[in-house]
């Protein structure tokens, strides 16, 4: 297991490094400017280690990454690790709420669809899930801002908290909801939740579509099992059979589905964070890419990959503990 994880991380390092070297973006040009002399360009290139061979650069990159050094950001002039520590809590907070919404809505809808397979409720559930998978998330974000923020005024606009709290609210952990509760700042908490609810709901809808479809598939399989037929023959109520027995058996693979959905939201919220100006990892990577800040782009991509691999590993361990047959 450890060998597989180590090999995966090494492969992830290799992929992120070589992609960063082959894309047609020159960070030296961004630092020096268009009018810099060739001598200045060469000196900057040497300081950044770009005058070495790719193999030497990769070895240096792996050594630094293994020690937690992802380089310095050109855009912020800070260590990339410090930047990620600052922005990643915003992404975690948004993805966590979205996953909770997706699971709490998607699982019941999937069960309803499976129980009513082929009938009108099932058709409605399938259409709702299909829309969640098909409609571009950035389009839903713009539409949501237009309707619920600009027209109705039900939610706050882009950003993470109202500017009125910029000098009164003090982030402690980086998780604004937790920080507001710790400080007892209920006005700031209302502002934070008002900013968060729309992007979290849109991401939750995307997550719900996936969880709903998988729940429906698992439940259809479970409802055909012999233990369900036996339970019906014993006279158990349909509600108890569905929610007490079939869903309990389907919950084991659903753990993996929810974990993967959470990982996808952690790595795939780039468009949502851009539309809502949410200061998370996705927006950080996007801004860094536009500025040719490859240290930040590679560092952010590496963190996303590590999180995805870690959540996959955790879901596998949970699956084995919940279902002894997989051991």
- Terminal CA-to-CA distance of the chain, rounded, Å? 14
* pLDDT at residue 327 in the model: 55
The answer as to whether 71 is a domain residue is: no
142 and 37, same structural domain? no
Residue 39 and residue 325: Cα distance in Å, rounded? 66
* pLDDT at residue 102 in the model: 93
127 and 45, same structural domain? no
Low pLDDT (below 70) residues in the chain:
1-2, 4-5, 20-36, 47-51, 267-268, 322-327
Nearest residue to 102 (alpha-carbon basis) of 112, 110, 93: 110
* pLDDT at residue 97 in the model: 93
Residue 46 belongs to domain spanning: 2-66
* pLDDT at residue 275 in the model: 86
Task: Determine contact, residues 240/164, Cβ cutoff 8 Å.
Answer: no
Nearest residue to 198 (alpha-carbon basis) of 117, 144, 150, 245: 144
The answer as to whether 220 is a domain residue is: yes
* pLDDT at residue 26 in the model: 63
* pLDDT at residue 255 in the model: 85
**Within 10 A of 307 (CB to CB), how many other CB atoms are there?**
19
* pLDDT at residue 300 in the model: 85
The last residue of one of the domains, among 66, 100, 121, is: 66
* pLDDT at residue 208 in the model: 93
* pLDDT at residue 198 in the model: 92
173 and 38, same structural domain? no
Following CA atoms 31, 35, 36, 39 in sequence, which dihedral angle do they give, to the nearest 10 degrees? 140
Residues 6+ apart with CB under 8 A from 137: 202, 203, 206, 271, 272
Quickly list H helices, 154-268.
176-183, 186-222, 226-233, 238-239, 247-268
The answer as to whether 277 is a domain residue is: yes
The last residue of one of the domains, among 66, 88, 108, is: 66
96 and 47, same structural domain? no
The answer as to whether 75 is a domain residue is: no
Residue 53 and residue 169: Cα distance in Å, rounded? 48
Q: What does pTM read for this prediction? A: 0.83
Number of domains in the chain: 2
93 and 61, same structural domain? no
115 and 8, same structural domain? no
* pLDDT at residue 107 in the model: 93
């Amino acid at each position: 297991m450890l060998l597989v994880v180590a090999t995966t991380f090494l492969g992830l390092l290799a992929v992120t490094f070589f992609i960063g070297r082959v894309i047609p973006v020159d960070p030296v040009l961004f630092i020096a400017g268009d009018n810099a002399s060739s001598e200045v360009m060469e000196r900057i290139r040497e300081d950044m280690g770009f005058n070495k061979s790719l193999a030497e650069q990769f070895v240096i990159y792996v050594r630094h990454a293994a020690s937690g050094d992802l380089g310095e950001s050109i855009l912020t002039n800070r260590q990339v690790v410090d930047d990620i520590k600052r922005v990643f809590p915003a992404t975690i907070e948004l993805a966590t709420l979205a996953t909770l919404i997706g699971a709490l809505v998607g699982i019941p809808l999937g069960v309803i669809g499976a129980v009513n397979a082929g009938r009108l409720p099932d058709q409605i559930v399938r259409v709702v899930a299909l829309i969640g998978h098909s409609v571009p998330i950035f389009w839903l974000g713009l539409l949501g801002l237009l309707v619920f923020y600009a027209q109705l005024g039900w939610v706050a606009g882009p950003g993470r908290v109202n500017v009125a709290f910029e000098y009164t609210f003090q982030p402690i952990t980086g998780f604004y909801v937790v920080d507001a509760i710790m400080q007892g700042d209920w006005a700031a908490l209302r502002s934070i939740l008002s900013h968060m609810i729309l992007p979290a709901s849109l991401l939750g809808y995307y997550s719900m579509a996936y969880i709903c479809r998988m729940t429906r598939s698992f439940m259809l399989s479970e409802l055909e099992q012999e233990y369900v037929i036996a339970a019906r023959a014993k006279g158990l109520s349909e509600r108890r059979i569905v929610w007490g027995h079939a869903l309990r058996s389907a919950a084991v693979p659903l753990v993996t589905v929810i974990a993967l959905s959470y990982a996808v939201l952690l790595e795939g919220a780039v468009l949502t964070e851009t539309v809502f100006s949410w200061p998370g990892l996705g927006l950080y990577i996007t801004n860094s890419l536009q500025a040719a800040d490859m240290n930040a782009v590679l560092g952010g991509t590496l963190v996303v990959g590590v999180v995805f691999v870690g959540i996959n590993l955790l879901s596998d361990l949970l699956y084995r503990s919940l279902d002894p047959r997989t051991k």
